[in-house]
């Protein structure tokens, strides 16, 4: 979602952060793997693009604008919910990313609530299509 607004370096970094999120709980769920592939395709990378761990140190310099940081947080939150459970490891990692980005706890909660509402609306729309 809004991944086209990111530069190539930011897209690569987002994929690294996404990889960090999905492996944080030690389980790679097929839904997480599917969303990672969706991210790759939406950002113009091949499905076999190799994902690697990305350390958080210095990540704020890659995502310099508030807009890019919010895009990253929304997409990482979406990814964390795709397997049906927001695991504590994922939450801790995302809160750490949020702090590195200079977002407050209230802003993190606002983004989390927005993503959960959006996911609910998406599910409702899909049920209307069935």
Task: Confirm whether 55 is domain-assigned.
Answer: no
97, pLDDT greater than 90: yes
Say what the pLDDT of residue 84 is.
Answer: 84
**Taking the CB of residue 3, how many other CB atoms lie within 10 A of it?**
19
- One DSSP character per residue, 82-103 reads TTS---HHHHHHHHHHHHHTT-
Contact 42, 79 (CB under 8 A): no
The overall average pLDDT reported for the chain is: 94
Task: Confirm whether 54 is domain-assigned.
Answer: no
DSSP alpha helix (H) spans, the chain? 8-23, 30-42, 59-62, 66-81, 88-100, 105-129
CA distance 44 to 63: 19
Going by pLDDT thresholds of 50, 70 and 90, the confidence category of residue 87 is confident
Number of structural domains (the chain) is 1
Say what the pLDDT of residue 1 is.
Answer: 80
Which CATH number is 77's domain given?
1.10.3680
Task: Confirm whether 42 is domain-assigned.
Answer: yes
Domain holding 38, by residue range, is 3-49+63-129
pTM: 0.93
79, pLDDT greater than 90: yes
Q: Tell me what the mean pLDDT of segment 17-41 comes to.
A: 91
């Amino acid at each position: 979602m809004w991944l086209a607004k990111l530069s190539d370096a930011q897209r690569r970094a987002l994929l690294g952060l996404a990889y960090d999120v999905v492996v944080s709980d030690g389980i790679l769920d097929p839904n997480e793997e599917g969303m990672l592939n969706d991210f790759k395709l939406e950002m113009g990378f091949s499905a076999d693009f190799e994902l690697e761990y990305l350390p958080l140190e210095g990540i704020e310099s890659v995502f310099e604008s508030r807009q890019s940081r919010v895009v990253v947080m929304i997409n990482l939150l979406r990814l964390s919910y795709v397997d049906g459970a927001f695991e504590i490891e994922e939450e801790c990692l995302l809160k750490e990313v949020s702090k590195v980005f200079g977002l407050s706890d209230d802003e993190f909660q606002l983004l989390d609530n927005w993503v959960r509402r959006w996911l609910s609306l998406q599910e409702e729309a899909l049920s209307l299509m069935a």
